[in-house]
Chain A
Amino acid sequence: MEIYLPIAEQSMNVFVLLALGGAAGLLAGMFGVGGGFLATPLLIFAGIPPAVAVASQANQVIANSVSSLQVQWRRGNVDLRMGLILLLGGMVGSSAGVSLFTWLKRVGQIDFVIAVLYVVMLSAIGLLMLAESSRTYFKRRRNPEAPRGKLHTHYMVHRLPLKMRFYKSKLYISALLPLGLGFVIGILSAILGVGGGFVLVPAMIYLLGMPTGVVIGTSNFQILFVAANVTFLQAMTNRTVDVVLALLLILGGVVGAPIGARLAAKLPGVVLRGLMGLLVLAVAGQLLTDLVRTPASPYSLGTREVLP
């Protein structure tokens, strides 16, 4: 069954869109990340203009994070103080990101930038996750009672000024750190149409040293508001938010997320992280092939304008 998407200005199969949203939801449920990093490239592969894919995906991220935040909030897994500081950076970052997006679109480089950013981000994160999980996996197999080590290690970044106490995260770090992190995630969110969870979650664990328990809830909190900001700004400036497209993705995601969560409960965390690393690498590989392979046609059309 085909449906016409009024902003993308083309028709697409309803079930393909539902399945795509479902897959993104499944990931969200399993790994606590939005799944946007998978859905956006797939939408673009399916022929949706990148500008529309990115903006509508941001709209979908809102729904995804609100339903997951519901649970996390009730369990008290949100470090509100950390979340608000991340959010502050995120708002500035995403506003800057939308302007950057508009500019890149005008000079005709947005597709390339989207693809390259995806490849770089995804390969880095995929490799990190895979390396970390396989190391943990083999270490644990060799010596199951290995000591857990220090709570977290101290790097140079911990010498920055403006130190703040984050009680829930049991941290005493510079506020500049989450502020900067939020800023970067905001830019990514605006340009790539992802919540940024796939960058934010590892960064919160490995860079900030937050305890895993509060990471998902806190990142959800920040992503919700940043995605709302991106949706609003994209609708205002680029007029590329397709609510019909977003609604179908959301409906698929709503069904997919709890299934993912149930699956996640059955698998050990290390295996889960390893699987996710593989998946991320696969998407990166696909995108890289597209960048390197000779395209069917070197020509494409930009936005068309109606002549007066």
Chain B
Amino acid sequence: MKVLLLAFLWCCAAAVEAGAQAPPPPSSMPPPAVPPPAVSPPPVSPRGGLLPAPPLAGQAPPAEPSASSDPLGPPNLIMDLSAPRVSITSAFQGESLLVFGMFDPPGEIVVVVEGPPMRETVMRKQRVLGLWLTTGRQLFDDVPSYYFIAASQPLQRLLAGRAGGEILSLEDRMSIIRPVRLGPPARLAEFRGGLVEVKRREGLYPADIGQVPIQGGRLFRADLPFPSRLPEGMYSVRAYLIRDGRIAATVSHPLPVAKVGFSADLAAWSHQEGAFYGMGAIAMALLVGWVGGTIMRRL
């Protein structure tokens, strides 16, 4: 038993030392030998064949072995964030976080930030007898609550090769969200477009593509804009080093987003003990109304 544990720890240490291949789950690269299109992240199983496969996937023949066969081992890629977490306090009004890091040149960098997957309800209004009312709804599963992608070069150029399967532009990412109930593809596409539109308005899908400036050929940075209306949960920040259209190295960093302090206590209280929270709210209103009224009348 002890031996196993030690072996495991040694493996971990080796992985960390290599500094490149991130912990297994997020960056599990599809094995190169499998010919069918090496599609995208692991848990996705597009229900119904309607969904177009990410257009860039599997274009290059999988003849070339992946980066790990590089005689020198995978190149170095390290990354850190300007803050270990996003804390939603009473004074929170959105935040901008800095992702920065270093890599072995040459290469280009892509940064992808993704919030926890959610089930979203998209509603569409239509004019009925002169009034705008909700006439259609569509639920989607596995919708990233937040999605931001930034790159040091135009994405099309970077993803022209095999990287396209794993790194998804916003458009590609949205094409694999799962409709809860299937409908005609045209309708689904419409609602999917509506979803992106609303999310973009709320600042949760900040831009088509952000900038990653590179300094001295080896230092990179990217600004992550977070709006005030930010869903809580575990976000992931990933950086990819791209060489010749292939992913040469990956790092991943979890980024917890959570309410803290007073806001967190209140929200938790309201969710766990609705009855007591309700009574507390009533007591607060009675007290402030009574005392406030008395004071103001004396003035």
Interface flag for B154 (CB, 8 Å): no
| Complex CA distance for A295 and B134, rounded to whole angstroms | 12
A307–B124 contact, CB under 8 A?
no
Shortest beta-carbon distance from B258 to chain A in Å: 12
Interface flag for B5 (CB, 8 Å): no
The total of chain B residues at the interface (CB under 8 A) is 68
A63–B92 contact, CB under 8 A?
no
For chain B, residues 101 to 127, give those with C-beta under 8 angstroms from any C-beta of chain A.
Answer: 116-127
A64–B277 contact, CB under 8 A?
no
Number of residue pairs A-B, CB distance < 8 angstroms: 199
A6-B263, A241-B270 known; A11 vs B228 contact (CB < 8 Å)? yes
* Contact residues in A for B229 (Cβ distance below 8 Å): 9-10
Interface flag for A234 (CB, 8 Å): yes
Interface flag for A264 (CB, 8 Å): no
A-binding segment of B47-55, B237-245, B288-296: B288-296
| Complex CA distance for A244 and B201, rounded to whole angstroms | 25
* Contact residues in B for A235 (Cβ distance below 8 Å): 270, 274-275, 277-278, 281
A111-B134, A254-B296, A306-B233 known; A299 vs B195 contact (CB < 8 Å)? yes
By size class, the interface of chain A is: 35 or more
Contact with B along A240-257 (1 / 0, CB 8 A): 010110110011001101
* Contact residues in A for B271 (Cβ distance below 8 Å): 239
CB < 8 Å: which of B130, B195, B278 contacts A231?
Answer: B278
Interface residues of B (CB under 8 A from A): 88-94, 116-127, 130-134, 137, 141-142, 145, 191, 194-195, 197-199, 201, 228-229, 231, 233, 259, 262-264, 266-267, 270-271, 274-275, 277-282, 284-286, 288-290, 292-297, 299
Interface residues of A (CB under 8 A from B): 2-4, 6-7, 9-11, 59-60, 62-68, 70-71, 108-109, 111-112, 116, 228, 231-237, 239, 241, 243-244, 246-247, 250-251, 254-255, 257-258, 291-295, 297-307
